[in-house]
Structure 1
Amino acid sequence: MKTNYSITFISLIVICSFSNAQSLDDYLKIATKNSPHLQSIHYNYESDLEKINELGSIQNTSIGVGYFVSPVETRVGAQKAKFSISQNLPWFGTLNTKQEGAALKANATLNEFDMAKRTLFLQIKTTYYQLYELKSKENIITEHLKLLTSFEELALSELENNRSTMVDVLKIRIEKNELTNSLNTIQENFKAKQITFNLLLNRNKNSEITITKNISINTSEAIFSKEAISTNPKLLQLQNLKASLKKEELATKKEGLPTVGIGLDYVIVEERPAPNIADNGKDIFMPMVSVSIPLFSNKYRSKQKQFQLDQKAIVATSINTTNELTTLFETSESAIKTARTSILTQTQNIAETERIKTLLLAAYETSSIDFKQLLEIQQMKLKFEFKKVGSEKEYAIQKSTLEFLTTTN
């Protein structure tokens, strides 16, 4: 029964460990939910949507009430009080044009949200793959330390048989010390990078992070279209801002046209005591129409000019941004090819050093071990393994950069 309980307990631990393990996609979802920067932009977007409703509203209706302290005598009686209501109406289509401009500006804010999300994802992926490199190097050094320990034991054994010297033992120990120092440095760097990663997710800085054991490498050419850069949210944002300025320019032009006002005056008239007066005490209704003509409209022309210049500035910014994104695409595409080639090369080099080590150890049966060559081979293998995981990290980061440039979230 104790054995069954032990198996059940171990099974629960394994299940819990798997359930708590999180992938990179899980971390991206956490960041999307927790990011205060994304939340801030989303609130701005909601505010922009409310702006559309605001700009669709006409001006306030004017209501007036007046009381004649000294009644104005008329033929049909004295005027006692006056009520008036009026409403100014903008030129036809002005409000719709303003709303369309506000909607385009809201779309631009949504593009800003998308761009901020992509940028955050790239930062998270970059940090994650840096953690992958550090964790991989830690594992590599740990394995090399185990191997050096076995070499040290072998050297001490051979020292008793006069087939090695104390110098060999000391060299192995020095190499172990150097690797231990490197291991401590890597572990400290991992802790610092772990804090950075957790802060990007806006969670406890000491939260555990599950790092993938390996990175999938596509040996064929990755499919990333340079033309897809045109759909990058930064460029879409500039397009929407330019279109919004165009609408604001049109709305300003309409504001420079006459506005029409309609209204109604109602006057209360008191009856006269004299009999037989036609319409005696009849109240007065007076509909009104007014036209406001902007005779001095320099401010409207000036505002239109401002919007035109702002549009030209956005066009220039779009060209510059396209060039920057294209340059980044070319650089990343070249780097990903270089990293892929390096991974293949280092994999071959590691296999070759392993073969050499096997041959050196096989020679032990017929002669003494050349520990100097053995250490040199181990150092070479360590260097190649470090280069390999470094290239894997670079490959993953550059792939993430190309996704940042071309992939639609």
Structure 2
Amino acid sequence: MFLIILILLIPLNLFGQEISQNSTLQELLEFSAENNPSLKAKFHSWKASLERVPQVGSLPDPTLSFSYFVKEVETKVGPQKAKLSLSQKFPFFGKLDLAEKVVLKEAESLKQELDWEKVKLFFEVKKAYFELYFSQIQIKISQENLLLLEDILTVTKSKYENNKTSFANLIQTEIQIEKLKDRIKTLNQLLKVRQANLNFLLNRSSNAILPEVKLVFENLTLNKELLKTEILQNPNIKSLEFLVEKEKAKTKLSEKDFYPNFTFGIDYAFTESGTTQLKDDGKDPLMLMFGISVPIWREKYSAKVRESKFRQNSVEQKKQNQLNKFEFETESLFFEIEDSERKITLYENTLIPKEKQNLEVTKTAYQNGKLDFLNLIDAQKTLLEFELNLEMAKTKKAISLAKLKMITN
């Protein structure tokens, strides 16, 4: 009882890694690899396939049979009462090795599928993490703009009280504030959905606490030709390659069906003493037995060989199709990354600094009655749009780099 109480008092995080407020993206990836049920399912499928190797690579069980003669068989040396037989079947030479090879190649394919599932999981976690970052930054920027609008409202009220602006301008400012507040509420709801999505990938409850998210860019050498060659090492491609090798081995195994299998055995007959004076009277005979299968249904075996070859061709075409798809996605991702980088430079170095300057000038001009109210609202909306576009470009770049790493492994 004391031991049970002691175990219950031990902090849970001693038994395994837990996620805290300070956890990094890398720690989230490691946590997902240890806890994601889909990845665990793939792992157990692979381990199960390995257990088939000793099953197919072993000889079938020998057969032991006992026969009792209801009516004794009379022989020269005495009546036979019963017979004991032991036999063992042996497949044609090379069949067991090929059957083992087929299962091993399938297991190697499943191992690559496991690796591919892990790579895809890591991308999904990164994508969910970056989308969560974007939701948080959207809310932050929108709240900053809400403060700006409230400041504009204060100025507009003062101008209205001094008959320097219309009531319509005052109402328009209040409408813009309420619209932005509603948008912030929507963004907060979306934030909860994205938190739940990330927790789902981590196999945690939807409302579990997550760490502070930060934008992290993959450290990739953006050499298009080099990355295209690395696609060949993608686990999905390697998995299909092992399936091709499996079907090749299966074809050779099917060709072995044209050759016979063998059976060796011994028979021992229980014989009682007869009425003769012969030396072997009543002696139990021992017989060696040899059997051979006769593979006469040739068309059946030919069809089996053709089936394996068709399956091999099918897998080879799947592999080529996947390679083509990955190469296209690589081209597309390079475009997205370059486009995002161009937009980041444009917004950070040009558009946002100039629009901030424009907003300050417009606000001062509006306070002095030199510019219309609509000019101020447009400047505020433009700045909000630019700031959100910058963060969207950064998020897209991070997601595109993560996907490029997934494809090129």
Instruction: Give TM class, smaller chain.
Output: 0.7 to 0.9
Secondary structure (helix, strand or coil) at the match of 2:58 reads coil
Give 1:397's match in structure 2, choosing from 396, 399, 406: 399
Compared with structure 1, are the counterparts of its residues 65 and 316 closer, same or farther at alpha carbon in structure 2 (3 Å cutoff)? same
- Could you tell me which residue of structure 1 aligns to residue 383 of structure 2? 381
The answer on whether the counterparts of 1:64 and 1:84 sit within 8 Å (CA) in structure 2 is yes
Residue identity in the other structure for 1:144:
N
The 5 A counterparts of 1:74-223 are 74-158=75-159, 166-216=167-217, 221=222
Of the structure 1 ranges 74-83 and 160-169, higher mean CA displacement relative to structure 2 is found in 160-169
Residue identity in the other structure for 1:232:
N
Shift of 1:210: 2.9
- Deviations, residues 153-192 of structure 1 (Å, cap 9, x unaligned): 3444455566656555434323212211211221122222
Normalising by structure 1, we get a TM-score of 0.86
- Could you tell me which residue of structure 2 aligns to residue 15 of structure 1? none
The 5 A counterparts of 1:5-404 are 19-158=20-159, 166-216=167-217, 221=222, 225-272=227-274, 276-347=277-348, 348-360=350-362, 367-368=368-369, 370=371, 371-404=373-406
The answer on whether the counterparts of 2:366 and 2:376 sit within 8 Å (CA) in structure 1 is no
- Deviations, residues 343-385 of structure 1 (Å, cap 9, x unaligned): 11111211112223344566699x4574544333222111100
Residue identity in the other structure for 1:299:
K
Of the structure 1 ranges 162-171 and 283-292, higher mean CA displacement relative to structure 2 is found in 162-171
Measure the CA separation in 1 of the matches of 2:157 and 2:270.
120
Unmatched 5+ residue regions in structure 2?
1-18
- Deviations, residues 276-295 of structure 1 (Å, cap 9, x unaligned): 53123222111122222212
Shift of 1:249: 1.1
- Deviations, residues 201-254 of structure 1 (Å, cap 9, x unaligned): 332112233342444598995777111111112211111111101111111111
Residue identity in the other structure for 2:313:
K
Compared with structure 1, are the counterparts of its residues 86 and 221 closer, same or farther at alpha carbon in structure 2 (3 Å cutoff)? closer
Residue identity in the other structure for 1:74:
T
Measure the CA separation in 2 of the matches of 1:96 and 1:184.
65
Residue identity in the other structure for 2:206:
K
Compared with structure 1, are the counterparts of its residues 180 and 220 closer, same or farther at alpha carbon in structure 2 (3 Å cutoff)? farther
Secondary structure (helix, strand or coil) at the match of 1:283 reads coil
Residue identity in the other structure for 2:291:
S
Shift of 1:335: 0.6
The answer on whether the counterparts of 1:217 and 1:340 sit within 8 Å (CA) in structure 2 is no
Compared with structure 1, are the counterparts of its residues 150 and 217 closer, same or farther at alpha carbon in structure 2 (3 Å cutoff)? farther
The answer on whether the counterparts of 2:87 and 2:263 sit within 8 Å (CA) in structure 1 is yes
Compared with structure 1, are the counterparts of its residues 382 and 129 closer, same or farther at alpha carbon in structure 2 (3 Å cutoff)? same
Measure the CA separation in 1 of the matches of 2:98 and 2:135.
56
- Deviations, residues 84-141 of structure 1 (Å, cap 9, x unaligned): 1111101111101110110000111112222222223323322222222111110001
Residue identity in the other structure for 2:269:
V
Measure the CA separation in 2 of the matches of 1:31 and 1:220.
26
The answer on whether the counterparts of 1:82 and 1:265 sit within 8 Å (CA) in structure 2 is yes
Secondary structure (helix, strand or coil) at the match of 1:340 reads helix
Compared with structure 1, are the counterparts of its residues 173 and 219 closer, same or farther at alpha carbon in structure 2 (3 Å cutoff)? farther
Secondary structure (helix, strand or coil) at the match of 1:83 reads strand
Secondary structure (helix, strand or coil) at the match of 1:58 reads coil
Secondary structure (helix, strand or coil) at the match of 2:51 reads helix
Residue identity in the other structure for 2:343:
S
Identity over aligned pairs, percent: 27
Compared with structure 1, are the counterparts of its residues 68 and 405 closer, same or farther at alpha carbon in structure 2 (3 Å cutoff)? same
**Root mean square deviation of aligned Cα:** 2.6
Secondary structure (helix, strand or coil) at the match of 2:278 reads coil
Shift of 1:331: 0.5
Shift of 1:37: 2.1
Q: How many residues align?
A: 388
Of the structure 1 ranges 300-309 and 217-226, higher mean CA displacement relative to structure 2 is found in 217-226
Shift of 1:257: 0.5
The answer on whether the counterparts of 1:63 and 1:85 sit within 8 Å (CA) in structure 2 is yes
Measure the CA separation in 2 of the matches of 1:189 and 1:263.
74
Unmatched 5+ residue regions in structure 1?
1-17
Measure the CA separation in 2 of the matches of 1:108 and 1:36.
20
